[in-house]
Structure 1
Amino acid sequence: MVEYEDYFEDDFVSKSQLKREAEALQQLGEDLLSLTKAELAKVPLDEDLEAAFALAHKIKGKHEAYRRQVQYIGKMMRSRDPEPLQEALDKIRNKHNQATAEFHKLELLRDRLLSGGNDALQDALNEHPALAEEMQRLRQLIRQAAKELKENKPPKSSRELFKLLRSTLHD
């Protein structure tokens, strides 16, 4: 005789769980749609999904059509493995976060150079020996930036200093 409890299998998935999974896949599709075309090209999409994304980008201004297209993309994603797509999305976002962090580090270094004088310059040279090649230009830009700040002029030299730091330290 079959027990009542044995009748239900262990891999039973509730309707609510199925809805949550479908919504998660649709959200992944929306996140992928927020990428630029160049970033989206790095995501491993099959031809059908690629065409669906291209159409969604084309009709983005038409609210209701775009909403239906996003739902369709979510439906298409249910029959595909979402892990490679999620990994590619995470990789792209992480690169963006790393670029932002590098940008902020360069800004902090520039601000330290502008406010710290020779001690800050020496500390920067100890941290980043590559800057020694640009020592004369660094000193010149720091002096010009201080002068511009004192005279309430646009921070042209400060921007040039940032560009110099970026090109010297990250190329």
Structure 2
Amino acid sequence: MSREKYVDPKISSPPFKETIKSKSALKREMVDLQKIGLDLVELPAKKLLKVELPDDLRESIELAKKIKSREGKRRQIQHIGKIMRSVDVDKILIELKFFDQENLQYNLQKMNIEKKVMRLISCGDKAIDEILIEFPQIDRKRLRQLTRQMKKETLDAKREIARKKIFTYLMELDSY
């Protein structure tokens, strides 16, 4: 006859379930934190100042920017990941996503202006009229002058300079 041990259900099942993460899950989290840290290291200084970070994390990021050695930079990124374990990463992710969105909008604006410049090259006055509808504050005379100057140039380098002037002029107007 086998003897079974009596297990009291009240004692054996704890009221809450402890979740113990596997070593692999912890490593994946660390790699994710290191990727976020690398994104922070690659941010321009002006944008990095806008992100709310603890002082030790900010110093580690600045140090990582200065390190030229590949292996040294890798170790510093690991250190940044370790520091980020104690930081609220969600706030940082929100700000990084905002910067990405801002960059995407800027790129879309540039593409839109580039299309207008190409239309000016191909259609001339007709395209100027369309741009005047979109930007009533534009100086028609200046835009026509820039367009004619670009069409008149025979050298590719000078033509590109004139095209950039039109592009810059339209970008300034679009940012208002």
Q: What secondary structure does 1:161 align onto?
A: helix
CA distance in 1, matches of 2:111, 2:70: 36
Please state how far the C-alpha of 1:10 moved relative to its aligned partner: 5.8
Displacement of 1:84 in angstroms is 0.8
2:87 corresponds in structure 1 to 80
TM (normalized to structure 1)? 0.87
Tell me by how many angstroms 1:29 deviates.
0.5
Mapped contact 2:51–2:95 kept (Cα < 8 A):
yes
The counterpart of 1:23, out of the listed 24, 31, 41, is 31
- 1:95 and 2:111 are equivalent in the alignment: no
Distance between the aligned counterparts of 2:126 and 2:63, measured in 1? 57
Matched, 1:110 2:117: yes
1:161 matches 2:166: yes
- Which fold has the larger relative contact order, with Cα–Cα distance below 8 Å and residues 6 or more apart in sequence? 1
Once the two structures are TM-superposed, the CA of residue 76 in structure 1 deviates from its matched residue by 0.8
The question of whether the paired residues in 2 share the 8 Å contact of 1:130 and 1:169 is answered with no
- Tell me what 2:22 maps to: 14
In terms of Rg, which structure is larger? 2
* Letter matched to residue 25 of structure 2: Q
Distance 1:85 1:57 in 2: 18
Q: Does 1:143 align with 2:144?
A: no
Residue type of the alignment partner of 1:159? K
Asked whether the 8 Å contact 2:51–2:92 carries over to 1, the reply is: yes
C-alpha root-mean-square deviation of aligned residues, in Å?
Answer: 2.1
Q: Which runs of 5+ in 2 are unaligned?
A: 1-7
Give 1:108 deviation, angstroms.
0.9
Specify the code of the residue in structure 2 equivalent to 1:27. Answer: K
- Using the aligned pairs only, state the percent identity: 35
Number of residues paired by the alignment? 166
Instruction: Structure 1: state its 5+ residue gaps.
Output: none
Distance 2:41 2:51 in 1: 11
